[in-house]
A and B are shown apart, each in its own frame.
Chain A
């Protein structure tokens, strides 16, 4: 049993710290504004005690954050002021209270010049160089995790809950460390795809990742007049396509600065500045530039008028906007990060204020409004028609097909046979560049009319045979339980972006003898692809999520081709993503629907 912390009302006293109000509430901890002797501080309380029920290791994370912060002393890094245990036994950490704006808010309120932005980033690079020299990585650098203090304008890096040092225990069991997808370097996604089947594979986070994240932050400040606004943006970490140069999106960006950002965002980590000290020097050199283009606001204030409050229902809605904010949690966005679409499936919308819309083929992908039949949607890739390739080189859309060296000139793979005449193969207006790309890449490339809906398909004979003869499954005749996306918890209700790659897994707790025999716990459904049917169902759901897996790895057996489909009602649909349960049953099929 876990002890879920109840929200503490103001007036509560934790070990002598008087709670004034809650500042943030994330997956691992809750942060409160507290006072002692009349001085404000931020108190970060772990969600759980150090007990076996602490699956997210919230206790260990807070302790590790404390340990890391105690080794750091830098004017641009938040300072720890104490720690202890609440009466409930939950560990807490007390930090300097930074009364300030997040970098994004600062950008919108202060209309900074390139010079002022550079001045902030020189300090950030200096703080990072200091940390890195001690072997510490922040691992969740983003606009929300840098505050500009109101009193003196100094930037302060906060939220070290994802941070690690050379000797730290890795608190994430597998895959990528916690963080925010938008600011992840592209090599992290390449790693994930390359190790989809290796349960324990763990990405080794590096300084180059940190430089990419800082580059992404700088890019956002330079190209986006309203970085705090929640909307679809160009993905910055597509495995092949780099974002447009900052100067192309915003001509006010000085050329040399644009070039430096471009190198920070390089697809190839070895082409980024080699370390943060080098980066600091390069930024400092630009800071010396007396050019007039450095002394004008990078966006005219008129473009930065405070936007209307975000419309309700936006999946990425975070904390209230437009208010000066103090220390807050990176994990606030835990759920939202899912929706800030994983790099490879992010939709590329040209920023509204881009003065020079890029030429094709980088046209904006139009998001599908909820509940609107997707008539304009066209098939880019007939995924549902055939299983994804089991070997590189096959035509198809498996994650493995998205390789770094995929040429955008590649011809479209030959269309596998269709079960029924459908809407498939009717994409005459697609630019060639889009036709050759797997769905995922096409989405990220901003190809128009990308496939969201599943196509009818007939399961290839080889997969039917494998299901029948090797796996002894009753095709079209039985269901198996699974956690749909093994990166998320069984109890979660995540957002599933259309086109996302997922791996399903049969959870523990299955008792059905037949299920245990032919698809026991630990059975992994591979090559899963998410589709969306954004039409209201007769039961009133706003749509359906369909996931098709094309391979299976039953413990003790070889990986085999299958056609396994999960079809779930969606709780909510937003653009090209749907919220649904992460647990359900699916079935081996000979055809679909």
Chain B
């Protein structure tokens, strides 16, 4: 509260739908989104398909349907590399929020080898599904 991360509105949670990019061999499961007073966060599991190169997510960006973009940090456990056939829990954290956050975002998680996964339909304000 003192640092301003949470205010009286608390933290709101939304659902994140699964996404898949067959061509790039990346897939995410159902996840959750959270929004506090000044930040937004998405929590998903990403799988790097067997047969692909190892993949390390490096940065993320939220793109709003109405044009707003939010750069985001990627937070993972360990060195963050996903071996082929393995999965990793990935958090994408945006430290700033634009005025209107009640919109739908596509979250692009960019990583090594020029491969990235786009997770559409990210909302920060509504209940699960």
Contact = CB atoms under 8 A, between A and B. Distances in A.
The answer to whether A and B belong to the same complex is yes
A569 B17 contact: yes
B100 interface: no
Closest 10 pairs (CB-CB, A-B): A585-B29, A509-B86, A539-B121, A512-B89, A509-B85, A584-B29, A585-B30, A509-B87, A511-B88, A511-B86
Interface of B: 17-18, 20, 27, 29-32, 45, 47, 49, 51, 77-78, 82-83, 85-89, 120-121, 128-129
Contact of B17 (A481, A491, A512, A539): A539
B18 A569 contact: yes
A567 B18 CA distance: 10
A511 B83 CA distance: 10
A1 B86 contact: no
Nearest to B27: A583
Interface string A475-517: 0000101000000000100000000000000001111110100
Interface residues of A, number: 23
A537 interface: yes
Contact of A511 (B20, B31, B78, B128): B78
Contacts of A510: 86-87
Given A1-B51, A544-B129, A567 B30 contact: yes
Contact of A581 (B18, B31, B85, B129): B18
Contacts of B121: 539
A33 interface: no
A479 B87 contact: no
Nearest to A581: B18
Contacts of A539: 17, 120-121
A585 B45 CA distance: 8
Given A479-B31, A512-B89, A585-B30, 19 more contacts: A479-B32, A481-B29, A508-B85, A509-B47, A509-B85, A511-B86, A511-B87, A511-B88, A512-B77, A512-B87, A512-B88, A513-B77, A566-B30, A568-B30, A569-B18, A581-B18, A583-B29, A585-B31, A585-B45
Nearest to A477: B32
Nearest to B43: A479
Contacts of A511: 77-78, 82, 86-89
B45 A479 contact: yes
6 contacts: A479-B29, A481-B29, A568-B30, A583-B47, A584-B30, A593-B129
Contacts, number: 59
A512 B30 CA distance: 16
A574 B121 CA distance: 24
B26 to A, nearest CB: 13
Given A509-B85, A511-B82, A593-B128, A581 B77 contact: no
Residue among B45, B47, B49, B128 facing the most chain A CB atoms (10 A cut-off): B45
A584 B85 CA distance: 14
A567 B129 contact: yes
B77 A567 contact: no
Contact of A481 (B20, B32, B87): B87
Contacts of B87: 481, 509-512
Interface string A561-593: 000001111000000000001011100000001
Interface in A534-578: 537, 539, 544, 566-569
Nearest to B29: A585
A583 B17 CA distance: 13
A509 B30 CA distance: 17
Nearest to A1: B51
Contacts of A479: 29-32, 45
A568 B128 CA distance: 11
A479 B120 CA distance: 20
A568 B121 CA distance: 14
A300 B62 CA distance: 64
Contacts of A585: 29-31, 45
Contacts of A566: 30
A537 B88 CA distance: 27
Contacts of A509: 47, 83, 85-87
A557 B48 CA distance: 30
Contacts of B51: 1
A515 B87 CA distance: 11
Contacts of A567: 30, 128-129
